[in-house]
Chain A
Amino acid sequence: MPLRASKPSASAIPVPPQDRWKRFFDSDMLHAFVRSPLVMLAALIAFILVALAFLAPWLAPHDPYDLKSLNLMDSENPPSWVKGGDPRFWLGTDDQGRDIFSTILYGMRSSVLISMSAVGLALLMGVSLGLIAGYRGGWVDTVIMRIADIQLTFPSILTALLVDGIAQAVLKGSQLGNSHYLILVVAIGLSYWVQYARTVRGVAMVERNKEYVQAARLIGLSSRKIMFSHVLPNVLSPVLVLATINLALAIITEATLSFLGVGLPSSEPSLGTMIQIGNKFLLSGSWWMVAFPGATLALLVLAVNLVGDWLRDKLDPRLR
């Protein structure tokens, strides 16, 4: 035997769970997180805003859905601290007398719900299509990836707009009631699946050719099982990064579509519709009807973006 000390390779040693936690707390990631106050602040703001959105029914002083409580006498009130403001309406009221603060909370709830569902849909679609494409290969792969390539050449906001616009026009006649939510989720979800599919496919293709997968196949493990146990853990971090960044994009997309009048109808509270309504009154000086929902939207997106950007830098430098 040669006089060589065999170097133990780090990856060969299994890590016990408690060590894994310890490693996480020791890791550069947590270190960097605590070291960057801006990101911590952004994460905090994003968390608070989302929490406010979900707690809207309990927190909002008024219910913008309750038409009976609305009084046109209360319309276009400026914020309470401005001359002519009404102490009941902290951030003022809109043209129908809805309390801006309450409507923002409810509106943010719609925005966050739709965006999260849309990102969920995109993730589900993208990950499964990516897995299938990467694992099956052959013509399935070709078809899926060509569609992805082609869709990638269109900006996703345009795809969402076209899908949404067409769906709205098609369903205009039929009474589908609350279908606006569904249409938005589908339209936005459909426009963001591509990146997940590409990422997952790449990893799946690499894994597919590794020896342990070939071996697992030979001993008769089903390919689905292999994909789930080996490919998914490997794509977790890039998918998480994508989902965070996409959440910000989805929020913007929803707000934009609603603002353009092809998303939620203006009777439904959402940040986009609020800004659309407020925009009409901006020239007459009722700035609060745009300013508060606009600032909320910007803050929400900026906070999510900052967290996403930071995650991307730390977790997945390839995506940069």
Chain B
Amino acid sequence: MLAYSIRRIFEALIVMITVAALAFVLFRFVGDPVNQLVGQDATLAERDLIRKELGLDDPVPVQFARFVWKAAHLDFGMSYQVKQPVATVFAARFPATFELAMTAALFATLIGIPMGVYTGIHRDSFLSKTFLTLSLIGISLPTFLIGILLIWVFSTRLGWLPSFGRGDTVDLGFWRTGFLTRDGWAHLILPAVTLGLFQLTLITRLVRSQMLEVLRADYIKFARARGLTDRAVNFGHALKNTLIPVITVIGLQVGSIIAFALITEFVFQWPGMGLLFLQSVQSADIPVMSAYLFLVAFMFVAINFVVDLLYVWVDPRIRILGSS
């Protein structure tokens, strides 16, 4: 178990260093940071001074080490665009993305698992076939189209829900939340559904196919032969075995939710990190871009790590394997 964890941590470190190198190359060699900071009409002397201050004359490995050291302290420099520390800009945007992603993930999981179980057990029923057809359509519709469609129906035509922004938020000092106001919830619904829909179809299909596979297993047949109730067989024996791979996938999907959050944020002009990244691409705001890269990679590595631990915790077979 310990050796396993150490190996995972080591791998995670390699990923982070690779990403850091990428972010560094981007940061250091794409566009001249000095130009961005002082403007076109600065004198050569001024430029040299800033160059020294930024340490751009040091050997590249030293600069890289400094970059990593700073990044580890969440110091990504100043945004070219808004002239504020990148960390501050991200801190302001993070709660928006987090709240959106979590709501979407909960929505997808809480509806997706029961739907998958149902379609797995009653695989030939009319309702199951309807679910599956709908889910194929759901997978085929790009996220942004779903968002536009929802806006068209619920905002433009029906006028029930707002179509952009977070609405009223409450500042808790360190965290600006939309969970505490009615308006905040109203603004959250459409983006969260848009973001969650794809995951919902994915989870439904995954749970279903796992369920079908598990229901064919010998131990299920044996459980039936022992006269256990359908309930015990389906929900006790089959579901638990189904959920092991599902937990992994759902965990990994959290990463994918972050990716799709970017699209959703763009459609709904949701002031999160994804929208920030897209704006930084438009304006070639390199520090923000490299910070986003860094942050996303870190989140993925962290999520993977947690999912691995979770997996070990759920499946006794791995628990033993790991310890020996």
Contacts and interface: CB of A to CB of B under 8 A. Distances in A.
Direct contact of A and B (CB under 8 A): yes
A168 B281 contact: yes
Given A261-B278, A301-B142, A305-B136, A158 B259 contact: yes
B259 A252 contact: no
B97 to A, nearest CB: 14
Contact of B259 (A157, A255, A287, A297): A157
A115 to B, nearest CB: 13
B262 to A, nearest CB: 7
B26 interface: yes
Interface of A: 146, 150, 153-155, 157-158, 161-162, 165-166, 168-170, 172-173, 248, 252, 255-256, 259-262, 275, 279, 282-283, 285, 287, 290, 294, 297-298, 301-302, 305-306, 309, 320
Contact of B148 (A155, A165, A290): A290
Interface string B212-226: 000000000000000
B255 A155 contact: yes
B255 A165 contact: no
A282 B263 CA distance: 18
Contact of A282 (B139, B152, B281, B296): B152
A170 B25 CA distance: 11
Interface of B: 11, 15, 26, 30-31, 136-137, 139-145, 148-149, 151-152, 156, 163, 209, 252, 255-256, 258-260, 262-263, 266-267, 277-278, 281-282, 284, 286, 289, 293, 296, 300, 304
A158 B19 CA distance: 14
A309 B145 contact: no
B304 A153 contact: yes
Q: Which DSSP category, helix, strand, loop or mixed, fits chain A's interface?
A: helix
A153 B260 contact: no
A282 B145 contact: no
18 contacts: A146-B11, A153-B255, A153-B304, A157-B256, A168-B281, A169-B30, A173-B284, A255-B142, A260-B262, A260-B266, A261-B282, A262-B281, A275-B148, A294-B145, A294-B148, A302-B136, A305-B136, A306-B136
Nearest to A262: B281
A297 to B, nearest CB: 7
Nearest to A151: B15
A320 B208 CA distance: 11
Given A166-B289, A170-B30, A283 B156 contact: yes
A168 to B, nearest CB: 6
Contact of A298 (B141, B266, B267): B141
A155 B252 CA distance: 9
Top-5 shortest CB links A-B: A158-B259, A302-B140, A155-B256, A165-B281, A155-B259
B293 A309 contact: no
Nearest to B275: A260
A162 B209 CA distance: 32
Given A158-B259, A165-B289, A173 B31 contact: yes
A161 B136 contact: no
A301 B138 CA distance: 11
Given A153-B252, A154-B300, A169-B286, A256 B142 contact: yes
Contacts of B163: 283
A158 B296 contact: yes
Given A153-B255, A169-B286, A302-B136, A256 B144 contact: yes
Given A162-B293, A282-B151, A305-B139, A320 B209 contact: yes
A275 B144 contact: yes
